[in-house]
Amino acid sequence: MIVTTAFLLTAFVQSDSTLQDTTRRSRTTVLPVVSYSEVTGIQYGATLFRGFRVADRTDTRPSSVSLYAAFTAKDHAKAYAQLDRWSADNSTRSRARVEYISYPLPFFGIGRTTPDSSEEWYSSGVTTVQFFVDRAWRTSLFLHGGLRFTRSRLREFEAGGLLDADIVPGAFGSDVIATSAGVVFDSRDDVGAPRTGTYARLIPSIAAKVFGGDAAFRRLTIDVRRYKALGEQVAAFQVQYDGIAGTAPFDLMPMIGADTAMRGYPRGRYRDQHAFTTQAELRSAQWRRFGAVLFAGAGTVASRFTDLSSGSWFPSVGGGVRYLLSPRYRTIVRADLAVGRGSFGVHLGIGEAF
């Protein structure tokens, strides 16, 4: 449980001049990250974000390079490097990401009826390599293709728990290789902080036991987002479904609890074969680069798709602050406080939650 969290908005490489910010083709910002958790102790690190356009055209969507590294007093770490690039004519988006994480996480079991008393803590060393390309086919419609490799190795677990008993799929580790192909509709006016437009993706993927993979399952992800300007404010809505057929490692199962959806719950508080979430945000106008948001959402998980409409739904409500790092690229830093059913969380990041 996070007790206190501080995100120091100190830019080592940043100019206060808005005029300069709107005329330069690239911009680099470095931010220190400091937080405290009862589980990890003091966490410290830094993140670097570089926004750029591959052409001088003002209608070219912004690209970015992101680097992040953080360490804890209890020998845990998280680091990633990501390139997200749009072509000059916005016809192609390509993204590559490499990530390693070994933070402690709670595990409550599988299903939506798992009680709080079943909580056990574990940490895995997880390495992820991901690459995808979206290629324009029609106006605002893209064809998607991607590849993802995930290697997980259990580092710490509680003796006598479910993970120790090795009855949970992938409890002691797994190698998963998944390919994806689908369609993406994207009419947003801006990819980082949209005010109008729609973003929707339909992405089927397949994990197979080839090239060293040891899990086989099929996955379908549906993600629909809508943005509407209300004067200087913005209303944002998202509906998301994630479902699998087959047996996936427990840490890759559809779940509730993330810093972008169902904020207020620990990551993976509820997980099963199918998950459905919905959320809405009201984003205020900015004042001297600062803004605020209010949000609410609900979600559920189920072992069968037809059971999603029955049973328990879990609420999520909260609010947060925003700081505009770059007017040209509309890059923001966010800090959110969210409350779920019997839990709360502080969530930090670069870019809007959705």
Domain residues for the domain of 56 are 2-350
Residue 38 sits in a domain whose CATH number is 2.40.160.50
pTM summary value: 0.87
Mean pLDDT by 10 residues, the chain (354 residues): 42 40 64 72 86 87 93 89 96 97 92 92 94 95 97 91 88 93 96 93 94 88 97 95 96 90 90 97 91 96 92 92 82 89 84 90
Write down the pLDDT at residue 13: 40
Question: Cα Rg for the chain, rounded, in angstroms?
Answer: 20
**Which two tokens mark 261?**
């959806």
Torsion of CA 15, 17, 23, 25, to 10 degrees: 10
What values do phi and psi take at 54, rounded to 5? -75, -10
Contact between 9 and 333 under an 8 Å Cβ cutoff? The reply is yes
Query: Which H or E element spans position 21?
Result: helix 18-23
Is 186 strand, coil or helix? strand
Residues constituting the chain = 354
**Which two tokens mark 73?**
């007093």
The DSSP bridge partners found for residue 244 are 219
For residue 175, give the DSSP letter. Answer: E
Domain count, the chain: 1
